[in-house]
Structure 1
Amino acid sequence: MSVPLDSPALALRAAIHAALVADVALTGLLGGPRIHDVPPADAAFPFVTLGEAVVADWSTATEGGSEHALTLHAFSRSGGRAEAFAIAAALQEALHDAPLALAGHRLANLRATTAEVRRESDGLTFHALVRFRAVTEPS
Structure 2
Amino acid sequence: MSAPASLALRRALHDGLLAHAPLVAVLGGPKVWDEPPRAATFPYVTLGEARTTDWSTGDGVGHEHAITLHVWSRQGGQSEAHLVAGELVAALEAVPLTPEGLRLVNLRFATADIRREPDGRTWHGVVRFRAVTEPG
TM-score calculated relative to the size of structure 2:
0.95
* Among candidates 30, 37, 40, match of residue 40 of structure 1: 37
CA displacement, residues 83-115 of structure 1 (integer Å, 9 cap, x when unaligned) = 000000000011137531110111001101101
Q: How far off is 1:40 after superposition?
A: 1.2
Cα RMSD, aligned residues only: 1.2
97 and 132 in structure 1: CA distance in 2 versus 1, 3 angstrom threshold: farther
The answer to whether structure 1 residue 49 and structure 2 residue 80 are counterparts is: no
Residue of structure 1 in register with 2:75 after alignment: 78
C-alpha distance after superposition, 1:4-36 (max 9, x if no partner): 5xx110010100100111111001110000000
TM-score normalized by the length of structure 1: 0.93
Structure 1 SS opposite 2:37:
coil
Runs of 4+ in 1 over 2 A off after TM superposition: 96-99
| Gapped regions of structure 1 (runs ≥ 5) | none
Checking the alignment, whether the CA contact within 8 Å between 2:71 and 2:81 is kept in structure 1 is: yes
Task: Pick from 19, 22, 41 the counterpart of residue 22 of structure 1.
Answer: 19
Show the counterpart of 2:108: 111
Contact kept in structure 2, 1:53 and 1:70, CA below 8 Å: yes
* Count of residue pairs brought into register by the alignment: 135
